[in-house]
Amino acid sequence: MPACTLELKTIPRAPRDEIVGWLGTALKIKVHAPAVDGRANDALLQFLAERLALPRRAVRLIRGEKSPHKAVAIDGLSLAAVQARLTPPSA
């Protein structure tokens, strides 16, 4: 089964959940939830799972629990497939 690691730059307390675009090899994502008690991380992982059409358990935070720079493990998709599904249309 394919799997990959995705580097992220996250911004909590945004007006809405949205993918901003790629910053080199990292994907910049805004999440509405505040960075309190892991709520932004939970919202981020749920948002990614929905956008990737994967079950929530297939997306796991592996680094950066309290940092805006995070790494997420994604089971079931290659990095190329993840990049294709998450690249904003305007990019």
Domains, the chain: 3-86 (3.30.1200.10)
The Cα 66–Cα 75 span in angstroms is: 23
Given pLDDT bands bounded at 50, 70 and 90, which one contains residue 87?
confident
pLDDT per residue as tens digits for the range 25-63: 999 999 999 999 999 999 999 999 999 999 999 999 999
Q: What is the DSSP string of 18-52?
A: EEEEEETTEEEEE-SS-SSTTHHHHHHHHHHHHHH
pLDDT per residue as tens digits for the range 67-82: 999 999 999 999 999 9
pTM of the model: 0.93
Residue 89 has pLDDT above 80, yes or no: no
pLDDT at site 90: 65
